[in-house]
Structure 1
Amino acid sequence: MLGVRRTRSYAGAAALLAAASLAVPVAADAHPGHAHGHPSGHASAAPATCPPSAAALGYSDALDKRVVDGVEIGGLSDIAYDARTHRYVSSVDNHADDPSRLWFYRDLADPTPVGDPLVLTQPDGTPYTGRTADFEGLAVLPSGDFVVSDEVEPAIRIFSRDGRERTTLPVPPRFAVTPAGEATDNATLEGLTLADHGREIVASMEGTLSGDTGDGTFRRILVYTKAGHGYRLSRQIGYRVEPGMRIPEIQEYAPHRFLVMEASWSAEVGNEIRLYAIDTRHTVDVSRITDLADAPETVVPKRLVSDVTSCPDLGASAKETQLNPLMDNYEGMIATPARRGAFDVTLVSDDNFGATQTTRFLRLAARLP
C-alpha cells in the first residue's frame, strides 16, 4: 500500500472545521479573485486548513500503478457511489486499445479494489476502448444504470448493470467538436452528476464554445430532466471560470447546489485546484443565448470554498514540478454529508497511466453554503 494517510474520521471533520473557525464568505461574486494560503507539514495541533472554508483530512496513493489480475489501474477521472453494492466506482477515461472499465472499491480513505472491473460495451457488445471513447464523468442512476459522459463526440451514454450501452442522450449540435460544432477537442463534457434525487443529469463543459466570445472564461452546464422512461435536455446554465482554468468535475451536494472543480496545469507551477459552490435555484436558462459574453449577468454566481493548492502538503511527494507536492491531476470528485453541517469531499487524480503522475485520493472537510 502506497502513501496512505488516515488522519481523521468524519466526526473529526466537523471538529476540525470548528477549530479552524472556517466560515463561508457572506458575499457572492460571479467572478471572484483568487485565494491564497501556504502549505505546512504533517497533521498537528494546528488545523490543516485549505482556505477559505475547507480542511485537509488525508490522502491515499493506494491505487497508484496498482495491478489487478494483470490489469493496471489508472486514468481515473471520476467518483460515484453505487448504492446497490455500497461501493464507490470510477471509470478509466481512455488508455490505448484497452477496454473501457469501471473499477469498484469501498473505502475512500484506503481504496482497495473490490470484485472484477466492469467493461463498458457498445449496444452490440463490442467493448469501448481508449480509441473509441474518453469517459470522463460518471454517476449511478436510481435504476442502477451507469451514466457516463464521453468527450469523443461528445456524448452522454447510459449503460446497464452488465456494462452494455442502453441509450445516449441528445447533445446540442453546437457542443460537437470543431469543425462540426464549436467545442475544442478534449475539452467537452467532462463533469457529470445527478441532481434532484436522480431526476436530473447535469453535465459540465470543460472548455468554452467558440461562439461564447470574450476572454475565454464562459462555460455551459447542460441539465437533463427525467421524462417518461428517459431524460430530455431541459436547460443550460452559464458559468464563468477563473482565467486559465477549466472544469474537470461538478457534483451536487444539496438540492440545487453544486460544487464545481476548477483546475489548471503548467510546467512551471504544476496543478492548481480550486473548488466553488453554486446555487442554481434562480439561474437563467441560457439555451437561447448565442454568446454568453453578450449577457454576462446570466452567469450563475459562485463562492470560493477552497483553494486546494494552498492545503498543507500532509507529507506527500510529487513526481513532477508542483507548488504543493500534494497536488496532482485531480479530475474526479464526490461530496457527502458528514456531521454538524460539514461535508466530506474526496478528489481523485487521473495519472494518465504516466510515470510522472499519481493516482491519488485526497480527502477534505468543507463547509458548503
Structure 2
Amino acid sequence: MSTSVTPSVPARRRSRAWLGVLATAAGSLALAAGPAHAAAPAGHHPAPQGPLACGRAGWVDGYSDALDKTSAYGLGVGDLSALTWDARRGAYAAIVDHATGEQARLWFIADPAKPRITGTLVLRKPDGTPYDDTDFDGEGLAVLPDGDYLVSSEVEPSVRVFDRQGVQQAELAVPARFRVAPAGEATANATLEGLSVSPDGRYVYAAMEGVLSGDVAPGGSADDRRILVYRASGRHGYTLVKEIGYQVDPGNRISEVAAYGRSGLLVLEAAFIPGTGNTIKVYGVPDARGAADVTAVPDLGTAPAGVLARKVLTVDVDACPSLGAVAKEPQANPLMDNYEGMAIAPGPQPLGLAQVVLVSDDNSNATQTTRLLRLTARLPGAR
C-alpha cells in the first residue's frame, strides 16, 4: 500500500511542519538568549521539543511508502541505496544496490513528500557496455559541479565518474589497503558505502562502511572507520589528500554521508538487530576538512585520543514518533527500515537547520519497505 504521511497540511516543496519547526527553533533560540543583548552559551542549543521531536536531537517531518514495490519504465523500483540532489534534473537521484540480474542504474525521484519516478539512467563502462550485478555494487552517489555523477561500488571498491548519459569517464584512486581481502584489509560488502561532494565542489568524501582489519583494537573493538578525502584538481580530477578517522557507536556501520557548509559532514550510522529491527542515528562532523590526517596511522584501534574526528548527534531517528507507520518485520519503532541513502534538501538553511531526506533499501525483500523519510537536523558548525 502506498502511504504518504506529513504531520501537517502539505506545502509544495517543504512541509509546513518543517517551517513550523524552524519557527519553533527560532523562538527557542530567542528564549534561550534571555534579556536583550544576552547570548546563549557558545555551542549551546536547546533540545528539540514538541510532538515531532526525535528525542533530544532533530525532528521528523513525514514519510512516504509510495515507491514501495512499484514499477516504472517496465522495471521494478527497489534496492535503493544512495541518495543525492541533482539540480539539473530537479529531482533526487538514487542508485540501485546490486539487484540480482539487473543493470546498474540510477532512478530519479521528484518530491520526497509525494515521491514519483521521473526518469532512469543505466551506468555503462567506457565501451558502452552496461555494468550489472556481476561487476558492480553501487552504494555511494554524488553529483559533481559540472553535472557528472560520482559513484562508488563495493566490489573492488571503486569511485568512478559517469557523464550525464551514464558513460564512465574517469576513476579516482583508492588506496591498496582499502581493497577487499586478500588484496587489502577490507571485508566484502563493507567497503565504500558513503559518498558526497562538498557544496563548493572542491572536496569529495568517501566513507568506509566497515572497519579495515588493521584498525581493529587489541580488545576486539571494531568501531573505527576511515573516510577518504579528495580535493579537486582539474576537470574530472580529484586527488586523494588525506584520510580522516571516525568512530561509530558500538555495533553500528556507516550507511551514508552528506557534506554541508564549508567543511561539515553528516554521517548516517545504522545497525540491524534480529528481533528488534533497525537502529538509525544521524551525526554531524562540524569540521571534516580540519580533522586530523590518519593516513600514516597504521592502526586506528590504538590511535591516541584526539585523532578521530569529533561528532555531534543531530537526529536520533530511533526516538522519532512513528507517525502511524507500519513495519513488515519486527521493529522497535515501525518508522524504521534499512535506511541507506541520505541527502540534504536544496534551499536555504536558516538557523543552521536543514531538511534531510533518507531512503531505505528493501533488498527486493517482501518484509522490507522502500520508504522516504524526511527529517529536520541542526547542522553543527554550519557556515
Q: Give the alignment's TM-score, normalised by structure 2.
A: 0.87
Q: Say if 2:18 is the partner of 1:13.
A: yes
CA–CA separation in structure 2 for the residues paired with 1:46 and 1:174: 47
1:221 aligns with 2:227: yes
Higher relative contact order (CA 8 A, sep 6+): 1
Aligned match of 2:36? none
Q: Aligned residue pairs: how many?
A: 353
Determine the structure 1 residue equivalent to 2:35: none
Q: Which of 247, 259, 263 is residue 240 of structure 1 equivalent to?
A: 247
- Alignment match, 1:320: 329
Do the aligned partners of residues 293 and 98 (structure 1) sit closer, same or farther apart at CA in structure 2, a change above 3 Å counting? Answer: same
Q: Is 2:107 the counterpart of 1:103?
A: yes
Whether the 8 Å contact between 2:15 and 2:61 is mirrored in structure 1 is: no
Contact 1:51 1:305 in 2 (8 A): no
Report how far residue 53 of structure 1 moved. Answer: 2.4
Aligned partner of 1:358: which letter?
T
Aligned partner letter, 1:324: N
What is the match of residue 273 of structure 1?
A: 280
- Given candidates 182, 195, 200, the residue that maps to 2:198 is 195
Aligned to 2:168: 165
Identify if the C-alpha distance between structure 1 residues 294 and 346 changes in structure 2 by more than 3 Å, giving closer, same or farther.
same
Question: Structure 1, residues 168-220: CA drift from partner, whole Å, max 9, x if none?
Answer: 11100000011110001100000000015111111000000000121100000
* Residue of structure 2 equivalent to 1:34: none
Q: Provide structure 2 residue ranges, at least 5 long, that are not aligned to the other structure.
A: 9-13, 33-39
SS state at 2:117 partner:
coil
The aligned amino acid for 1:105 is I
Unaligned runs of 5+ in 1: 29-36, 38-44
Inter-partner Cα distance in structure 1 for 2:245 and 2:88: 34
Match of 2:376 in 1: 365
Q: Aligned partners of 1:285, 1:351: CA distance in 2, in Å? A: 36
Give the counterpart of 1:50 among 44, 47, 54: 54
> Which residue does the alignment assign to 2:297?
289
CA RMSD of aligned residues (A): 2.2
Tell me if structure 2 keeps the 8 A contact 1:195–1:256.
Answer: yes
In the other structure, the counterpart of 1:42 is none
| Counterpart-to-counterpart distance in 2, 1:306 and 1:46 | 14
Retained in 2: the 8 A contact 1:17–1:367?
no
The offset of 1:99, in angstroms, is 0.7
Letter in 2 for 1:359: T
- CA offset digits 1:109-154 (Å, max 9, x no partner): 1110113x10001111111112211101101111111000100000
Matched residue, 1:61: 65
The 10-residue stretch of structure 1 (331-340 or 343-352) with the greater mean CA deviation from structure 2: 331-340
One-letter identity of the residue aligned with 1:139? A
Distance 2:73 2:150 in 1: 26
* 1:50-89 matched pairs, under 5 angstroms: 50-89=54-93
Quote the Cα distance in structure 1 between the aligned partners of 2:50 and 2:162: 46
**Residue 262 of structure 1, aligned match among 258, 263, 269:** 269
Q: What TM-score results when the alignment is normalised by the length of structure 1? A: 0.91
Residues 26 and 136 of structure 1: CA distance in aligned 2, closer, same or farther (over 3 Å):
farther
The alignment status of 1:310 with 2:319, answered yes or no, reads yes
Q: Which residue of 2 aligns with 1:33?
A: none
Query: Equivalents in 1 of 2:353, 2:105: separation in Å?
Result: 32
* Rounded Cα–Cα distance in structure 2 between residues aligned with 1:70 and 1:207: 35
Of 173, 179, 195, which aligns to 2:182?
179
CA distance in 2, matches of 1:324, 1:238: 31
Inter-partner Cα distance in structure 2 for 1:332 and 1:355: 20
TM superposition shift of 1:10: 4.8
